């Protein structure tokens, strides 16, 4: 079953027929497994990895370190929720170390992100401090190297 | 100027066909005998560091002790096989060199060597170059390319010096399970015959664990185990193989190797030490080959190319009998009409002219595209 996940993680658009052939199962069986994963929230969503730099589109990504005060009984969960519900926040992680939350925030330009931090994030009562890092270049994302394509260097026929 | 022995090497139309393929752009190739994966980065990074640190010298003839120790340890952990890193292993430039050394070390003129057919092309050539004679042990599609023990028995009557085994096999992808191996050994052990076991595809076994021939009870002293890093670790260009066996044969091979090769390249040897730690990467490649195997075997049978499920390596040996074309014509037409490259079966034995070898060391997208094209081609014959 792990096999099905490994294939989908790499190619979410594969057809059920092909998925069945690659795993030597019946199409119906594969369909049931995939549906079960979807229902149980193991498969959360199918998405494309997009290299936006190729689109020459103005868009900025920032990593924001956030130091917060945990709250009685709920710890970080409640303040994290206050933050991750903003649509600008694409990812939100609780980390060990010198700060607490790491956010990945996207906006159409630097001002949009800056004003999100200044007007929405920093003023939250439990947020003690933020450090914003703007991303300059993406080399690799979700296991995919974005900067150059690997060419097959083998001879086309050998024993 | 060229000696008769080299002139006698089987001439074949295959070379012309290879040249034709190599000269043609945009071919979808299922004709490649090496992994499509690039060497795991940790191994490449190790090689870069070795160069930076100035490792550019010779090594001991036998190979770096560190690599010999790591390899022997790997065999012990994986197969409970015990070899002495000082006396019973030699690091070579690929399995090809190891095989050549072994044959040079054991063959007197006209000594006979059994080769299981269809065979990897180098076996008969190296035997003949070393003055030996080849006895072909032909296997049949109908028997799933397993060895016919009666045929083996009749060849053993000719008192051969050695037999070369290769499993998982190039070109058929078949391998032997414990029962097959024990039957083989029961027969071979009765006679004074040396067993050269080329197990370069051991990491690419998809049905149960690979069993080295040397693991069979009482067999180890009579077996030369050949293996290396090319296939399982995707390191073909590094050219690192090894031979493990009895002290006497290893010493003889080392003697020849010390004159003809000196040692395997040091950077490659250092990289290979690290490769043994890349088991995670090896198993991820194995899973990917296995998926492709499931896909391609089903598809080949569906479009009309009868194919057994190979248990290892990354090849299918498919029958083209019903199309009435010899394997070279079939391959040429498939190339010219559909731009798909495969290797004609004839390359792996004169009597395998109604087979083709299909390599699935190619991305799934390529395999899919090739299947569409081959299907169109078969319909047009």
What is the rounded CA–CA span in Å between residue B317 and residue B145?
A: 10
Domain count, chain A: 2
Q: What is the mean pLDDT of residues B7-18?
A: 84
Is the pLDDT reported for residue A52 higher than 90? no
What is the rounded CA–CA span in Å between residue A103 and residue B84?
A: 55
Domain-embedded: residue A58: yes
Q: Which residues of A touch B (CB under 8 A)?
A: 3, 6-7, 18, 21-24, 150, 152, 154-159
Model confidence at B323, pLDDT cuts 50, 70, 90, reads: very high
Q: What is the mean pLDDT of residues B113-129?
A: 97
Sort A73 into a burial class: Cβ within 10 Å, 0-12 / 13-18 / 19+: exposed
What is the rounded CA–CA span in Å between residue B183 and residue B179?
A: 6
A-chain CB neighbours of B38 within 8 Å are 150
B178-230 pLDDT per residue, tens: 999 999 999 999 999 999 999 999 999 999 999 999 999 999 999 999 999 99
Domain that holds residue A107: 53-136
Within this chain, do residues A63 and A123 fall inside the same structural domain, yes or no? yes
B-chain CB neighbours of A24 within 8 Å are 294, 298
pTM beyond 0.90: yes
Kindly determine whether residue B29 and residue A159, on different chains, have CB atoms separated by under 8 Å. no
* DSSP assignment of B262-329: SS--HHHHHHHHHHTT-HHHHHHHHHHHHHHHHHHHHHHHHHT-------BTTEEEEE-GGGT--HHH
A66-118 pLDDT per residue, tens: 999 988 888 899 999 999 999 999 999 999 999 999 999 999 999 999 999 99
Within this chain, do residues A106 and A63 fall inside the same structural domain, yes or no? yes
| Domain boundaries along the sequence of chain B | 4-39+280-380, 56-276
Of A7, A21, A155, the CB nearest to B298: A21
| Optimal mutation site among B15, B27, B32, interface A, most CBs of chain A within 10 A | B32
What is the rounded CA–CA span in Å between residue B285 and residue B203?
A: 10
Model confidence at A65, pLDDT cuts 50, 70, 90, reads: very high
B129-173 pLDDT per residue, tens: 999 999 999 999 999 999 999 999 999 999 999 999 999 999 999
b/e burial code for range B47-81 (CB count within 10 A of at least 16 → b) = beebeeeebeeebebbbbeebbebbbebbeeebeb
* DSSP assignment of B89-110: EEEESHHHHHHHHHHHHHPPTT
**What is the architecture of the domain spanning B56-276?**
3-Layer(aba) Sandwich (3.40)
Domain-embedded: residue A158: no
b/e burial code for range B341-378 (CB count within 10 A of at least 16 → b) = bbbbbbbbbeebbbbbbbbbbbebebbeebbeebbebb
**Fold held by B4-39+280-380:** 3.90.1150
Query: Residue A56: what pLDDT?
Result: 83
Q: Please, which residues bridge with residue A91 across strands?
A: A104
């Amino acid at each position: 079953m792990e096999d099905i996940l490994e294939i989908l993680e790499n190619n979410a658009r594969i057809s059920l027929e092909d998925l069945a052939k690659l795993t030597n199962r019946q199409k119906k069986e594969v369909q049931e497994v995939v549906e079960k994963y979807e229902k149980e929230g193991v498969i959360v969503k199918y998405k494309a990895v997009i290299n936006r730099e190729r689109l020459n589109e103005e868009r900025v990504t920032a990593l924001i370190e956030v130091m917060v005060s945990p709250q009685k009984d709920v710890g970080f969960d409640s303040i994290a929720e206050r933050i991750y519900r903003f649509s600008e926040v694409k990812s939100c992680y609780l980390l060990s170390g010198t700060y607490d939350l790491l956010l990945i925030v996207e906006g159409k330009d630097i001002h949009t992100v800056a004003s999100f931090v200044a007007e929405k994030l920093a003023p939250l009562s439990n947020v003690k401090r933020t450090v914003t890092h703007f991303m300059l270049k993406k080399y690799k994302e979700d296991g995919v190297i974005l900067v150059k394509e690997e060419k097959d260097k083998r001879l086309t026929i050998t024993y | 100027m060229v000696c008769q022995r080299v002139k006698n090497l089987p001439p074949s139309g295959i070379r012309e066909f290879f040249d034709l393929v190599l000269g043609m752009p945009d071919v979808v190739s299922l004709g490649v005998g090496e992994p499509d994966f690039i060497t795991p980065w940790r191994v490449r990074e190790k090689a870069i560091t070795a160069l930076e640190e100035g490792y550019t010298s010779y090594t001991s003839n036998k190979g770096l002790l560190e690599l010999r120790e790591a390899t022997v340890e790997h065999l012990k952990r994986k197969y409970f096989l015990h070899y002495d890193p000082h006396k019973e292993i030699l690091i070579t430039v690929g399995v090809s060199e190891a095989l050549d050394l072994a044959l040079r070390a054991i063959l007197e003129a006209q000594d006979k060597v059994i080769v299981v057919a269809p065979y990897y092309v180098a076996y008969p050539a190296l035997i003949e170059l070393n003055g030996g004679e080849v006895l072909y042990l032909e296997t049949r599609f109908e028997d799933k390319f397993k060895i016919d023990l009666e045929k083996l028995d009749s060849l053993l009557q000719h008192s051969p010096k050695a037999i070369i085994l290769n499993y998982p096999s190039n070109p058929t992808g078949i391998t032997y399970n414990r029962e097959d191996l024990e039957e083989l050994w029961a027969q071979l052990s009765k006679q004074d015959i040396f067993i050269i076991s080329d197990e370069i595809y051991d990491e690419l076994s998809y049905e149960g664990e690979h069993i080295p021939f040397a693991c069979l009870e009482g067999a180890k002293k009579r077996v030369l185990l050949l293996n290396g890093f090319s296939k399982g670790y995707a390191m073909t260009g590094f050219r690192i193989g090894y031979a493990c066996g009895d002290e006497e044969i290893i010493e003889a091979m080392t003697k020849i190797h010390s004159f003809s090769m000196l040692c395997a390249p040091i950077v490659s040897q250092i990289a290979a030490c690290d490769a043994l730690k890349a088991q995670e990467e090896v198993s991820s490649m194995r899973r990917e080959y296995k998926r492709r195997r499931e896909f391609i075997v089903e598809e080949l049978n569906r479009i009309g190319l009868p194919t057994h499920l190979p248990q290892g390596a990354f090849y299918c040996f498919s029958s083209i009998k019903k199309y009435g074309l010899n394997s070279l014509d079939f391959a040429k037409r498939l190339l010219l009409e559909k731009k798909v490259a495969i290797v004609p079966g004839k390359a792996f034995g004169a009597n395998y002219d109604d087979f083709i070898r299909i390599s699935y060391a190619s991305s799934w997208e390529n395999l899919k595209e090739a299947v569409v094209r081959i299907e169109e081609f078969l319909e047009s014959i």
